Structure formats: structure tokens, C-alpha cells
Amino acid sequence: MPVQLTMPRLSDTMEAGTIVRWNVKEGDVVSSGDVVADIETDKATMEMPVYDDGVISKIMVEAGKQVPVGTPIAIITVEGDEAGSAATVAAAPVAVAAMSVPSNNAPAQTAVPAQSASVSPPSVQFDAIRQRVSPLARRMADEMGISVSSIVGSGPGGRVVKQDVLKEAERLKSGGARPMALVHVASPSQSSTAVVPIGAGASEVMLSGMRQAIARRLVESKSNIPHYQVTMRFNMDPLLELRTMLNVQLEPQGIKLSVNDFIVRACALAMTAHPFFNASWAGDRIILHGDVNIGVAISLPMERGGGLVVAVLTQAQRKGLREISTETRALAEKARTRGLGPEDMTGATFTISNLGMFGVDNFTAIINPPNSAILACGAAVEQPVVRNHQLVVGHEMQATLSLDHRVIDGAMASEYLQTVKHNIENPATLLV
């Protein structure tokens, strides 16, 4: 049977994607695992692999075009297919391709096709399409009224399994809200943005899909969440001294701890003592999460679309400095070379944005829903400070929390920052 490729949901916030370029053409032979296209999501440019062996018999969406998740984009003919099968499948998604891009708070909906003599009902047309959905997952989705076409499967070969359906049901139950991309953005993607001259030396920059999504969510976050900020200074000298000593000892093992690794560890431990920092607003209730999943901002090179993505360190409260460092570096390398998968960017309950490594002294960040807080860390600046009633030269860092006042009030914020301050200024506590 021919296999229909559809625009995949490559991130938890993705509603539509742009095909930056096709790496194959009609008639090319492909094998499972081959990357056939580069897709720009609302977060980054990511690779799209295939999971079948066959021939690209038809490309249905040209490079540079943005289409909603679930839209058919290509057909693979596998060995043994009948000659006319690909044409039959290619004709099937006419109505589906007309889907509009759904709003941020609603799941993708398939337009109801108009019946005509030339177009068969979708139920007949799609019988020829190989769908990777387990029988149990399909039955559950039908009972819950959930369309499996827009669910990214976590099973082998992208197969939709029971857990994927339950996760989608929970998202819809909570109002359809999805975690948003981190709102700090670098340069637009060279591969998908265009500069258009408009005269007199002026020009317009056409927004990429990522830029459009982030712009929309910036407004939504600031409009819907009552932000406020709390700032505190930390004495960084003890941490910097310990980091230098540990890195000398760990150098033979190829491990180099960063200041950010210590900050992640300090915040994760503090969140176990202050559970409302590991919480989400849910309208008529507050959800206190179990595991501490910390999102860490990673900058992307221009060839991967530029901007920042948020990689998630799951169960961060259980991880030591060495594990945090190793996992963060692995995620950063993956993001900048192959691209992060949905499983790498899903489930953050708290976010850290660190511009100190770029020399920024102080800044504020916009909350990354459904988180209730984001910590913006500046640089550890060497400056005159008062220690033990003496004027000395030391390193201090400013950290600013942006908070959702519906979940966290000012007193709670100060208590949390006091705990983080104690952890950072007494870094030996981070080793146990």
C-alpha cells in the first residue's frame, strides 16, 4: 500500500510547519531513517525522516510553503504497490489540505469535505493509507473523539500508542493550552526569511513560521499572565572557586561543569522545598507537579534557523552536577546538529534563561506557559562589594524571577530566592 507522509507535529506547540527544502525528488529511492525534508516549526528547523522503504512517487507541497499539521505532503510507493495506488492516495487529501491553521488554544480540526461525484468520502480514500496506530490507541481515540492524525507517536517508527492518546486527552481536558516556545529570539532563519526592498533604502523582513508563532505567544503570555519580577544578588565567589577545583579534578574524564549547571541544580533542589514553583495555573485550580523538569535555553546556529529552543532536563531534582552537565551538553549538541525531538522539549515545569554567558548583567524574561516562573540569570560580574563589613573585590550575579501572581505571591518568591541564594553561596550543598 502507498504510504502518505503528512506534516508532522515536531514540537508540542507546533500548529503548522514550513518545508524549508526537500532533500529528495520524485522518483528517488528512500530507506527507513532517511531525512527527506527540513521542516521549520515554531521553535526551530528540524529534520523529517521517513520510516518506510520505497520510492518518492509524488511531492504534494513545494518547498517554502507553510501548511497545517496533518496536511499530506508526499507519497511513498513501497514494493508491490499497484501502479495506480499512489495516484489514488494522492487524490484523497484534497479536503484535508484545505485545513486552516488552528488557534493556539484549539486542536487541529479537519475540514468536512464537500461530497461530489469526483471525490470519494474520506473514509474510503484513507483506507489505502498505512497509519501507524496501535489498535488500542485507535479505539481509545475514537471513544474520546480525538483525531489521531495530529498526534506524534512515541512508539517504534512513530507509532501512536496508548500513552500518546492519554497525553493528548489530558492536554485537551486542561483547555488545550500547550507549553510555549521560549520568547527570547535571535536572528531570523536565513533559510526561510526574505528581505524585500520597499524603496528609499528601506526593506521588509518576511517573518518565518517560528517568528510568527513566538510573536503571537509573546502577546498571549503578557496579556494572559499577571507578570511581576523579583531580583536578588548572589555572592558567586564560593561557587566559582568550587567549580574551578572540580573542573581540574574532572578534566581527565572530559567533564567541564558550567556555572549554569550549578544554577540548574540549585533551582531544582529549591523547588522541592517550594512546590508552588513547580506548579501550573489551570483556571479553577493549581496543578502541583511531581518531578522537577527544568527547561534550559539553547541558542541555535543560523543554518538551523537561529533563535532559541528550550531543552528539558527531566527529574532534575534527582540529578547531580555531573549528570546535569553531561545531559545539557548532549542536548545542546543535538539541537545544533540534528535538531531536538518533541520528547526533548516537552514537559518543562520551570525555565532558566542565562544570558550571563554573553556578558549581560541583568534582564527580565517572559514566562514560558504553562510554567509559573522563569529565572533570568546575568553574568557573575567582578566588582567592589562589601563582605564582613569590608570593601573588597568579588563576583556577584543578579538573578530576576518573572512570576505568575495567580500562583506565586511576593512572599513566596522571596522565600524561594533565599533558598536558591543559600544553595549557590554554599555550593558544597549541591554535591550531596
**Residue 376 in contact with residue 363, Cβ under 8 Å?**
yes
405 part of the active site: yes
Can you tell me the distance from the alpha carbon of 284 to that of 277, in angstroms, rounded to the nearest whole number?
18
Q: How many CA atoms lie within 13 A of 265 on its CB side?
A: 27
- 315 in the Ramachandran plot: left (φ > 0), alpha (ψ -120 to 50) or beta? left
Can you tell me the distance from the alpha carbon of 408 to that of 102, in angstroms, rounded to the nearest whole number?
31
Catalytic-labelled residue, pool 184, 274, 289, 405: 405
Can you tell me the distance from the alpha carbon of 245 to that of 250, in angstroms, rounded to the nearest whole number?
9
Beta 294-299 vs 350-354: how paired, if at all?
parallel
- 429 in the Ramachandran plot: left (φ > 0), alpha (ψ -120 to 50) or beta? alpha
Can you tell me the distance from the alpha carbon of 177 to that of 131, in angstroms, rounded to the nearest whole number?
27
Q: Which residue type sits at 124?
A: V
Q: Which residue type sits at 86?
A: A
**Residue 209 in contact with residue 69, Cβ under 8 Å?**
no
User: Quick check: helix, strand or coil at residue 179?
Assistant: coil
Spatial neighbors of 247 by CB under 8 A, at least 6 apart, are 255, 256, 257
**Residue 48 in contact with residue 38, Cβ under 8 Å?**
yes
User: Quick check: helix, strand or coil at residue 202?
Assistant: strand
Find residue 287's DSSP bridge partners: 280
Number of H helices, E strands in the chain: 10, 18
Instruction: Phi first, then psi: give them for residue 38, nearest 5 degrees.
Output: -105, 125
Q: What are 68's three cell numbers?
A: 497545517
Can you tell me the distance from the alpha carbon of 283 to that of 291, in angstroms, rounded to the nearest whole number?
21
Spatial neighbors of 330 by CB under 8 A, at least 6 apart, are none
**Residue 302 in contact with residue 425, Cβ under 8 Å?**
no
Helix, strand, coil percentages in the chain from 3-state DSSP, rounded to 5: 35, 25, 40
Can you tell me the distance from the alpha carbon of 154 to that of 160, in angstroms, rounded to the nearest whole number?
6
Active site residues: 405
